[in-house]
Structure formats: structure tokens, C-alpha cells
Amino acid sequence: MTSFDPATIRDQFPALALEQDGRPVVYLDGPGGTQVPQRVIDAVVDYYRTMNANDGGAFQTSKATVAMVREARSAVAELLGATDPDQIHFGANMTTLTFHVSRSIGATLGAGDEIVVTTLDHEANVSPWHALAADRDLIVRTVDIHAEDGTLDLDHLSTLLGPRTRLVAVGMASNALGTINPVSQIAEMAHARGALVFMDAVHYVPHHGVDVTTLGADLLVTSPYKWFGPHSGVLWAGEGVIDRLPAYKVRPAHSAVATGTPAFELIAGVKAAVDYLADLAPEGMAGRRARLVAAMDVITTYERTLAMRFMHGLAAIPDLRLWGIADLSRIAERTPTFGLTSATRSPREMAQALGRAGIFSWDGHFYAQALIERLGLAASGGVLRLGLVHYNTAAEVDRTLEALESITRSS
């Protein structure tokens, strides 16, 4: 299987049948949360029906819950390339997990120690570190960007790393512009200074395969609801990392990461989402990890064809500006997420007009607040964000381009 036809999977997503004014709607809101296949819905419902119980009990449903969580950890470990399912921890969402782990990391730091964050990141990988710094008299340093293409300034990063650097927090991809960061290189630079590396993979995982054994991350977080699962969060921690950190937990808890009883039904849905992705692999492939690697390669290739079609069409609409990487020859350096502005319409006006046309998008800063401020776009409403995933189609791309052209022409 070297190509991908979304028609083969769209029927698995009930939400894709939604219509507005007699036409199917177009979901380009994926960077804020994707739709889910029926099997994810079924898994959540089936959990309530067949095994709804807390873990640790000496009875059938509790034992079934424990087994399900173990299976879900194994599934997510294989999605991320982790070698040990026990390195996978579930939480309410990426932001909650980050705040929680930051507290443990902070307990190991002293006044004057330094944390490096970036201008490109979502606030969930920035604000927790600033809050920690305020509490413990730490110093936060921020990596700047090249504004012309929305990429990180690695020369600036090198000047910020020093003998007091204890942690570097960086995203794998920008949720606002789609920029893919050279995180392995960044991790190497950080480790050379003896710093931990905390990676936000939320926007990257829906579009590309991940192998935590080669990234250089010490801790990595992601959000299943961005990759076709339920609203929840996942933390991967490298070997021994959590064990070296003070645990903020209730005394009997068996996990240093869990802050209470998890949403078991959502964990069941997470496993179903991983299995859905694995089933996109070519027929006949054995082993879930191998199938996931192949499936994500298929997704990446297909999404790039959509992205190139979209970017080519945008170039023909003179009123629009694409922020970030706009060079088609650099398509591999971005995800199919696009931040746009218009010379005549605000981002909110464009999002409203698209919404009336049944095309769902986002406008604003999407919690990439420092980035939007750095680009000088905060006062004018940020950007219009359009995000493609593998259930989108070429016809939807063309329909969106036609709508954008109409919107800007009418202004």
C-alpha cells in the first residue's frame, strides 16, 4: 500500500456524515481536536457496559479494568516506539500532566537554575515552567524564532544553554504554523549541558510516526484527542526518569504520575484509537509496532499531497498570506496546518464566513500566544488556522480554496 484513499475509512467516522444546509461539512479544525472512529465510541461505551470498576479489586470487572489499562499502555508504547509499557502514563490531558510533572522536576532545582522554553510552543509547554520558576526563583530563557518562516533560531538556543540549564522544553511541531522542529538536534544540544528534555508531541503525532528511542527526549507528552481518540493525555517517561523525581501523590498510590482515579473508559478509547491507526497499514503486515510505523508513513505521504494542493491554491489568492514555511520544496518541514491572514478580513471574519459555508476552522492564537505576539498579530486577531488530517479529501481542499477566494473577493 503506497497510496491512501480516505474513502476507505471515512465511513468509520460517524461525525463525517454531518451536513449543513444539505451539504457535508468539512472538518479543518483537527489541530484543536480530531473526530473519532466508531470503534473508539464503542470502546468507551463497552467499558461502561462490561467492566466499569476501579482497579485493584478482587472481582471480575476490576480485574478486567486492570487488564484493559495494561493493554492500552502496550498499545501506546508501540505507537511511540517505547520499549516498556510501564513508561506510559495516562492523565486528564497534556497540560495537566505537564503541570504535575513540572512540580516534581522543580523539587530537584535550586534558585538560579535555568529552564529554556521557546517562542514557538503552545503555552502548555511554557506556562507551567514560568509558574515553576516564580515559585522556586528559577530563570526562564526563551528561544526566539526566524519570523520570516516560523522556525526556531538554533543559534539563539546555543547562546541560552549554559552551566545552570536544567531543562529544555520544546514542541515537536507548532500547532499554529505547522513548523516541525529539529528536536533530535535540540535534545543533543541540551544533553551536552546535562539538561533534561521535555517534548510536546501533541501536534506531531497525528501526522508522523514517533520513535522515542531516537528522539533524545527524557519526557514526552501527547494528546489522544488530537489523534482520533478521546479527550485524555499521555506521558512517556524514559527509563528511570520518574524514579529519580520526587513524587507528589497520595501515599498508597502505585503511580507517581496519577493524581487520582483515572478515566478508565477514556483509556479504553485510547487503545481503540491506536488499533484504528494500526489497521491503516498495508494488509498482511505482522506486529502492531510495524503496522503503526507503516500506517503513519502512509498518512504522512497522503497528507503531503493535500498540503501541496492547498499551498499551491493559496498562492493564487493574492489577498491571503501564509505564515510559516510557504516554500513547497520544504513541505517535509511542516505539518498540514496553516496559519493565514488576509489584507481585508480579520481571522474571525474569515472563520465565521467559512463556518457559514460548512467549513470548520479556528481563529486566534490557539494558546501559541507568544508566537502570535512575536509575529505582531495579537492585536489583529491572530491567524485563521486550517488543519488537514488523513480523513480530509482533495475535494474538501478545493472547496475550501474556492470559499477563501470568494470570501476575500467579496471584501
| Residue ranges covered by each domain of the chain | 6-32+288-410, 42-277
268-306: pLDDT as tens digits: 999 999 999 999 999 889 999 999 999 999 999 999 999
Mean pLDDT of 220-249: 96
Poorest-confidence range of 19-23, 97-101, 222-226, 248-252? 248-252
Mean pLDDT of 163-192: 98
Is pTM beyond 0.95? Reply is yes
- With b for 16 or more beta-carbon neighbours within 10 A and e for fewer, the 15-28 pattern comes to ebeeeeeeebbbbb
- Answer whether residue 251 shows pLDDT above 90: no
Measured CA to CA, the distance from residue 254 to residue 250 in angstroms comes to 9
Confidence of residue 410 (pLDDT cuts 50, 70, 90): confident
- Of all residues in the chain, what percent carry a pLDDT higher than 70? 99
Q: Phi and psi for 334 in degrees, rounded to 5?
A: -145, 160
- Answer whether residue 2 shows pLDDT above 70: no
Mean pLDDT of 97-110: 97
What topology does CATH give the domain 6-32+288-410? Aspartate Aminotransferase, domain 1 (3.90.1150)
CATH 3.40.50.300 fits 42-277, yes or no: no
- Asked if residue 156 lies in contact with residue 122, where contact means CB atoms within 8 angstroms, the answer is no
- Asked if residue 168 lies in contact with residue 195, where contact means CB atoms within 8 angstroms, the answer is yes
pLDDT value at position 1? 41
Measured CA to CA, the distance from residue 116 to residue 101 in angstroms comes to 16
Q: What Å distances lie between residue 201 and 123, 180, 191, 231, 292, CA to CA? A: 13, 10, 19, 15, 16
pLDDT value at position 411? 67
Measured CA to CA, the distance from residue 294 to residue 304 in angstroms comes to 16
